[in-house]
Chains A and B, each alone.
Chain A
Amino acid sequence: MINTILTIALALIFLSIAIIIYRFMLGPSSVDRVISFDMMTIASISIIGIISYMSDRVIYLDIATVYGLLSFLAVIIIAKYLEKGL
């Protein structure tokens, strides 16, 4: 029962990532693409959390933390680059 509900949740998050990829290809400016990238990362953190429960490995949560940290730094650096140039 729980696994079924979690599988439906995974499918919904994958569907949302597919919709975000549409905006990623469409996006008229570079900032739109950065926003899409950021939101894909956030959705991926949810996916990693659910998969870590379904395969029963706590180590995946550490990977999610590091992944979020790297994406945050990447967004900050890209915004800094767009604003003034490195």
Chain B
Amino acid sequence: MPKIVAVTGNEAVAEALRQVDPDVCAAYPITPQTDIMQRFSSFASNCKVKTEMILVESEHSAMSACVGASAAGGRVITATSSQGLALMWEILWIASGDRLPIVMPLVNRALSAPINIHGDHSDGMGARDCGWIQLWSENAQESYDNTIQAFRIAEHMDIRLPAMVCLDGFIISHSINRMEYLEDEKVKNFVGDFKQLNPLLNIEKPVSYGPLILTDYYMEYRKAHEHVMSKVPGVVMQVADEFEKMTGRKYGLFETYRLEDAEVGIVVLNSAAGTTKDVIDDFRAKGIKAGLLKPRLYRPFPYAQVGEALKHLKAVCVLDRADAFGGSFGPLFMDIASSLYIQDKKPLMFNRIYGLGGRDYMPDQAELVLNELAETVKTGKVKSVKEYIGVRE
């Protein structure tokens, strides 16, 4: 029987990592992730896992150690947030370019300056195009489930790419949620054994990692990477189906809520989706046909499927918990706009930036957006494409 528990998001992720029992972990503390690795390192110290913990002096070194350990042949994890991810940036590309299936929970936090430790998607968005898989999670249960599934997706023989599991700093990482833990044996059987494709430590078959690839081959390797990314959604669905058989919990490329017959919709990532769903219920009760789409697989972004799911709407608001300075719109808006660009018929669209630096996303913000969506449908005009909401003038 699965165990029903009341735990924080970080505790849930640490528990998933304990159950997977990876070979190597190299990590460096950073709020709000620290709690995951603090818990995991006590599992290691108390022989609850056989994992080799590597002490490193920075996140740049943490990811570098992960690259080495993964190439050597191990199943490897780390975790980070914010500035830590920013410091890893250079090595993120090496992990993905070398096709090393490292799994990394990313507890989303705002980027400095001004320095801020709270929930915000700027960190993950900054790394969205570095060739990693990104799974985003609404609550502790999804963070736990995504962490377990991330190993299967990343390590799939057709994929072999690193994966980040994103959860909102503090809002999820440090709040207690009700959720279900799977039995250790079930998780172990689900993830199975890891076998590196070309392990460096196999002296019978010597290999080299990281060769110089110049003008004659670089573009072919990039095309191959783009191609393998295109296979990820299929594998994500396959793993989700198996996971559903084991747990009864259904996952897709994204979640839709009351979207099929909706006229207006909100697209939002992670924890804010919960609040939004509640407010959508209130608006439905008032006769406004509202729905929601919450991306789960954010990289690679399932453009075609997301576009199909949204194209019937009259108006869509994309809520971004990060801005893309100088890119005109928030990062999620740009992806949703691209998804709808390829559709013949598309909704009116606008972008609202909310919750930066952990500012609370309250029901009144969802109400504001839904009222504006209803108004947009009535007038047929978007008042303003991009605005910040919940900000003082």
| Chain A bound to chain B | no
Which residues from chain A sit less than 8 Å from chain B, CB to CB?
Answer: none
